């Protein structure tokens, strides 16, 4: 699953029936820099994607979402979903090695 | 399968039921020279990979669904090997 920040909401008035029961959110996939500093301000540039969610996230949450074939596995009916929110992340213990010594020998 | 480095772990309470009980390792995919490729990912890990340990993560959903015993699991990426040495 990729890590992402929920930055917006998408509302639909006409949609496929099997979308009922969930909502769509705009998610910005997290890069290393964003994860190292906790707050999102200033909002980094990046391409957001729309993630289907039924766990009840809100704007500002960090989530783990899966894309591709796995995303539509969670539905009983065949549903055209490309990105599915699997988890709302509580705590991230993120300690990447310092950038200078990035090449692990 | 991707070569990756474990950069930490994550906790999550509200999640898809098939993810219950699995350690969530934050993995950073790398190329063979050890440079980071793309963003950090979250992989299911039951091997207890240590911090900054090199591992191999598999993005195959089928084997993961057998692993978590849930045919509707939307999860992806699981740690399958702990790497001793990369002869690049």
ipTM, 2 dp: 0.90
CA dihedral (A19, B60, A85, B44) in degrees, to 10, reads: 150
| Residue B44 placed within a domain | yes
Quote the pLDDT of residue A104: 47
What is the rounded CA–CA span in Å between residue B85 and residue A85?
35
Q: Please, how many CA atoms are within 13 Å of residue A21, restricted to the half-sphere of its CB?
A: 8
What is the rounded CA–CA span in Å between residue A41 and residue B74?
31
| Residue B37 placed within a domain | yes
Flag whether pLDDT at B88 surpasses 80. Answer: no
pTM as predicted? 0.88
- Band (pLDDT 50/70/90 cuts) for residue B33 is confident
Contact assessment for residue B42 and residue B62, using Cβ atoms and an 8 Å cutoff: no
Query: What is the number of structural domains in chain B?
Result: 1
**Tens digit of pLDDT for each residue in A15-48?**
888 888 899 999 999 888 888 876 666 666 778 9
User: Chain A residue with minimal CA distance to B17?
Assistant: A86
Contact assessment for residue B30 and residue B86, using Cβ atoms and an 8 Å cutoff: no
The topology under which CATH files domain A2-89 is OB fold (Dihydrolipoamide Acetyltransferase, E2P) (2.40.50)
| Residue B88 placed within a domain | no
Contact assessment for residue A1 and residue A70, using Cβ atoms and an 8 Å cutoff: no
CB atoms within 10 A of CB B29: 18
Q: Cβ B13–A102 below 8 Å, yes or no?
A: no
CB atoms within 10 A of CB B64: 23
| Residue B87 placed within a domain | no
**Tens digit of pLDDT for each residue in B40-80?**
999 999 999 999 999 999 999 999 999 999 999 999 999 99
Tell me the CATH number at B30. 2.40.50.220
Quote the pLDDT of residue A21: 86
What is the rounded CA–CA span in Å between residue B5 and residue B53?
6
Contacts of B77 in chain A (CB under 8 A): 1
Alpha-helical (H) ranges within B15-78 are 61-68
Q: Does A24 touch chain B (CB under 8 A)?
A: no
Q: Which domain holds residue B33?
A: 2-82
Q: Does B76 touch chain A (CB under 8 A)?
A: yes
| Residue in the structure block whose two tokens are 């969930």 | A22
For residue A9 the two structure tokens come to 């909401």
User: What single-letter DSSP state applies at residue A89?
Assistant: E
What is the rounded CA–CA span in Å between residue B51 and residue B65?
26
């Amino acid at each position: 699953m990729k890590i992402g920040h929920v930055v917006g909401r998408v509302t639909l008035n006409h949609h496929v029936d099997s979308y009922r029961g969930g909502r769509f959110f705009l998610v910005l996939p997290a890069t290393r820099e964003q994860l190292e500093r906790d707050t999102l301000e200033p909002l980094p540039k990046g391409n957001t994607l729309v993630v289907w969610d039924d766990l009840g996230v809100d704007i500002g949450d960090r989530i783990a979402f899966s894309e591709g074939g796995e995303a539509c596995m969670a539905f009983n009916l065949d549903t055209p979903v490309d990105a599915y929110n699997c988890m709302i992340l509580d705590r991230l213990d993120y300690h990447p090695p310092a950038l200078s010594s990035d090449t692990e020998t | 399968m991707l070569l990756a480095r474990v950069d930490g772990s994550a906790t999550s309470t509200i999640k898809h039921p098939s993810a219950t009980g699995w350690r969530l390792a934050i993995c950073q995919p790398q190329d063979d020279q050890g440079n980071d490729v793309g963003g950090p990912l979250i992989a299911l890990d039951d091997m207890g990979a240590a911090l900054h340990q090199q591992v191999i993560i598999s993005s195959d959903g089928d084997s993961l669904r057998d692993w978590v015993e849930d045919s509707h699991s939307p999860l992806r990426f699981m740690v399958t090997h702990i790497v001793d040495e990369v002869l690049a």
